[in-house]
Amino acid sequence: MPNTTSGVAAVALAIDWQAGDQILCFDGEFPANVTPWQQAARRWGAHVQMAPLPDPRGPCEDWLGDVAARLARGVRVLAISAVQFQSGWRAPLAELSALCQRYGTQLAVDGVQAVGCVPLDVTALGIDYLACGSHKWLMGPEGAGFLYIRRERLAALHQTQAGWLSHEDPVAFLLRGGGLLRYDRPIRQRADWLEGGNVAAAACAGLGASVGILLELGIDAIFAHVQAWHDRLEPQLRDLGLEVLRHPEARHRSGILAALPSPGVDVARVQQALADLGVAMSSPDGRLRFSAHWPSPLDETELLARHLAAVLRSDGLGTLPS
Ligand SMILES: Cc1ncc(COP(=O)(O)O)c(C=O)c1O
């Protein structure tokens, strides 16, 4: 799969929808995990419900209760990101998966803000589908990614996106002589039937190299390192008057450390001013988002805080507490 969207769309277009099926998505999600579901709903007469997400710093029991009530009324697919792109909130996938199993709902996860930095076991969590691009926490090139499909879900999917490489023994006619060019070989009953044509081999090789490093370091160790980086930056952000969106419990934390600026601060200009100082960060939906990974040294947080203080002080970009 070349990116997250392709993986989500492949699933959304392959499910055997019935008119009136309900799809549960969440307000605030990155659109990659909403648009394909909307398209599938349009095509097959299903309906996308948009539910709220919980406060990224608070308890989520009431929210899980609301999700359970929605599933109890009948939901075919629940689609959520493992980690929210704006806040870094890590979804309680074990609890969601248990609810999905209780109510016969399929669980589809956008993994791109989690995989590579946050421990995530699709089998243990009972996830049905997980789509992921490689250019974020997997630190691979754009153009490579993957889609996980739980084996038990395969048989019910429509193989509408099959291509020439989806057949059993698809390259026989290219490699084993004449008389083998046929169009009636069965489509494979494995998830890789979705790879119907050639893939971006160079990007996949880059992804493979990066995954090798991540596995050698270990995802638990990477997560611990990134949390140590966040532990160090968080109080410095608070001292600068920023409202940090980090959850008190590790199970809801991720690689993203996001903060809300004081009212009136132009985050796009803060981002640009930091970029001019050599600091790469992003400002999705008005948040300041810091994303350290395994190569990020802990002591760079002091330099970052100094640059941020200078930027907030300068040019009316923000106000610092006295
Ligand atoms: C949660 C989430 N999903 C998906 C994407 C991107 O999707 P794609 O890999 O299809 O470009 C992003 C950001 O780029 C994201 O934050």
Average pLDDT over residues 17-25: 98
Q: How far is the CA of 30 from the centre of ligand 1 (A)?
A: 7
Mean pLDDT, rounded, for 205-232: 98
Average pLDDT over residues 23-49: 98
pLDDT mean over 161-189: 96
Q: Region 228-257: what's the mean pLDDT?
A: 97
- Check whether 322 has a pLDDT greater than 70: no
- 17 has a pLDDT exceeding 90: yes
- The share of the chain scoring above pLDDT 90, in percent, equals 94
Whether the pLDDT of residue 316 is over 80: the answer is: no
In 45-138, where does DSSP find H-type helix?
A: 61-72, 93-103, 122-125
User: Chain-wide mean pLDDT for the chain?
Assistant: 95
CA 97 to each of CA 12, 82, 212, 249: distance values in angstroms, whole numbers, following the listed order: 18, 12, 29, 20
CA–centroid distance, residue 132 to ligand 1 (Å): 8
> What pLDDT score was predicted for residue 144?
96
* Structure confidence at residue 315 as a pLDDT band (50, 70, 90): low
Whether 223 lines ligand 1, by a CB cut-off of 6 Å, is no
pLDDT value at residue 264: 85
pLDDT of residue 262: 86
> Tokens 């995530």 sit at which residue?
120
Q: To test the ligand 1 pocket, which listed residue (6, 29, 30, 117) has its Cβ within 8 A of the most ligand atoms? A: 30
pLDDT band at 189 (very low <50, low <70, confident <90, very high): very high
pLDDT for 52 beyond 80:
yes
pLDDT category of residue 320 using cuts at 50, 70 and 90: low
pLDDT digits 0-9 by tens, 259-304: 998 888 899 999 999 999 999 999 999 999 999 999 999 999 999 9
Buried b (16+ CB within 10 A) or exposed e, 184-194: eeeebeebebb
Q: Is the pLDDT of residue 319 over 70?
A: no
| Secondary element (H or E) of residue 214 | helix 201-217
Note the pTM of the prediction, 2 decimals: 0.95
Residue 183 has pLDDT above 90, yes or no: yes
pLDDT at residue 58 is higher than 60: yes
Residue 144: count of CB within 10 angstroms of its CB: 25
Assign 18 a pLDDT band (cuts: 50, 70, 90).
very high
**CA–CA distance from 104 to each of 77, 97, 109, 205 (Å)?**
9, 10, 16, 38
Angle at 103 between CA 97 and CA 107, to 5 degrees: 35
Ligand 1 atom at minimal distance to the Cα of residue 135: 9
Q: Is 132 in the pocket of ligand 1 (CB under 6 A)?
A: no
Per-residue model confidence as pLDDT tens digits over 237-248 = 999 999 999 999
Q: Is the CB of 30 under 6 A from ligand 1?
A: yes
Q: Is the CB–ligand 1 distance for residue 128 below 6 Å?
A: no
CA 146 to ligand 1 centroid distance, Å:
13
Counting beta carbons within 10 angstroms of the beta carbon of residue 152, is it exposed (0 to 12), middle (13 to 18) or buried (19 or more)?
exposed
Question: What mean pLDDT is predicted for residues 73-85?
Answer: 98
Distance CA 310, CA 22 (A): 50
